[in-house]
Amino acid sequence: MSTGPETLVLDGAIAPSGNATLYGHDQAQSFLAQSYQSGKGHHAILIEGPEGIGKATLAFRFANHVLRYPDHADAPGALHDPDPESPVFRQIAGGASHNLLYLSRPADPKTGKLKSAITVDEVRKAGKFFSQTSGTGNWRIVIVDTADELNRSAANAILKILEEPPKRAMFLVLSHAPGKLLPTIRSRCLPLVLRPLDEADLLLALGHLGLNIPAEKRSRILTLSGGSVAQAIKLINYGGLEIIDAFDTVIAQSGPAQRRAMHRLADAVAQKDSDTLYGFFVDHIEVFVSERARGAAIAGDVNRAYGLSRLHSAITERFTVADAYNLERKQTVLTVLGELAAQV
């Protein structure tokens, strides 16, 4: 069974399936271990929280724990670092475990790029997975990464399995934005909310990856990363800081200078094979507008807050449509920057 395509792993990161170390989330780890040990754990757990804070690593860590101790009465009341040399860990990390299925966005066979959603065909793999008899009588675990990316048909297919789960079946469902999930899916899962890493744990996690932050950039990167290891990696290894600086330049300027800055930024984020940087830019734009809409609302400027909220919705839809129809990214970026410059 697959533990996920390599294309999902950022440069400088460790694939969650092969990461034996997790920083932070002590309460969540204790809860999972103790609920499993009690024999009263829920069959479906919704692990919520911002992107890049360790949700997938926690899910694989717990899967290692459950498959290592198939009898809950034998399991310890705490999650420990799995032994990288153990058969269970090696099978999971190598995508060879017959007791674990990892569901994520599949690659398009024509382009080799990841599709924009988890399709119903992927979810059907879970039905087949559960219909097979485990030779060891062990648990069968499905990790959905992330449920936010399930299309409507796939979400309904997952729901049917959640409504009538097979014996000794467990779902670990990850979500960056649980409010967008079908209410019926949320209602059938036990929510487990993870918070962004504090500065100490974030630095430990980055140090574990061998990422050293330049002293002159440390404060800024720690602030902009928001407690997310993935965000910090994008800032350090993918030129995220430079993209933010270029965006700030666009917003600060006007006239011909602004248009030239727009084109430079669009060229940078829309270049071929820069999906990660493009996604970083899209997220930054959406957060930028959302924060200003919130600030206007707090200040009592209802008209401006309303206008920015409409702009946020329009920009989100524009990026979604461009992605769905494979439209030229540079033109999409230029259009969005033009809309922003006119209203911000």
Q: In DSSP terms, which residues pair with 169 in a beta bridge? A: 140
Look at the alpha carbons of 34, 36, 39, 40 in this order and tell me if their dihedral is positive or negative: positive
Q: How far apart are CA 310 and CA 332, in angstroms?
A: 18
Task: Quote the pLDDT of residue 134.
Answer: 62
CATH of domain 6-195: 3.40.50.300
Do the Cβ atoms of 35 and 170 come closer than 8 Å? no
Residues ≥6 apart with Cβ < 8 Å to 334 = 262, 263, 266
Q: Of 272 and 68, which is predicted with more confidence?
A: 68
Indicate whether 3 pLDDT > 70: no
Q: Which amino acid, one-letter code, is at 226?
A: G
Please give the average per-residue pLDDT across 192-196, as a whole number.
Answer: 98
- What is residue 131's predicted lDDT score, i.e. its pLDDT? 86
pTM of the model: 0.93
Which residues, at least 6 apart from 85, have a Cβ–Cβ distance to it below 8 Å?
A: none
| CB contact set of 7 (below 8 Å; sequence gap of 6+) | 107, 114
Sign of CA pseudo-dihedral 35, 38, 39, 40: negative
Which pLDDT value is given to residue 102?
Answer: 97
Per-residue pLDDT tens digits for 13-29:
999 999 999 999 999 99
Q: How far apart are CA 149 and CA 3, in angstroms?
A: 17
How far lies 336's CA from each of 11, 241, 259, 263, 342, in Å?
Answer: 28, 20, 12, 12, 10
Q: What percent of the chain has pLDDT over 90?
A: 86
Residue-wise pLDDT tens digits, 47-74: 999 999 999 999 999 999 999 999 999 9
pLDDT at res. 137: 78
Hey, where are the domains in the chain? 6-195, 238-343
Q: What is the mean pLDDT of residues 284-301?
A: 96
Predicted local confidence at residue 86, as pLDDT: 97
Work out the mean pLDDT of the chain and round it to a whole number: 94
pLDDT of residue 7: 45
Residue 5 in this model has a pLDDT that exceeds 60: no
* Segment 322-343, tens digit of pLDDT: 988 889 999 999 999 999 999 8
What number of other Cβ atoms are within 10 A of residue 174's Cβ?
26
Contact 145, 123 (CB under 8 A): no
Per-residue pLDDT for 84 more than 70? Answer: yes
pLDDT band at residue 300 under the 50/70/90 scheme: very high
Q: Of the ranges 2-6, 65-69, 229-233, 274-278, which one carries the lowest mean pLDDT score?
A: 2-6
For residue 48, which phi and psi values (nearest 5 degrees)? -105, 150
DSSP-derived 3-state class of residue 198: coil
User: pLDDT tens, 106-144?
Assistant: 988 888 888 889 999 999 999 999 888 666 678 999 999
Question: Within 13 Å and on the Cβ side, how many CA atoms surround 198?
Answer: 4
What mean pLDDT is predicted for residues 193-213? Answer: 95
Average the pLDDT over 292-315 and give the result.
97
Partners of 103 in the beta sheet? 144
pLDDT for 265 equals 97
Return the minimum-mean-pLDDT range out of 3-12, 34-43, 218-227, 243-252: 3-12
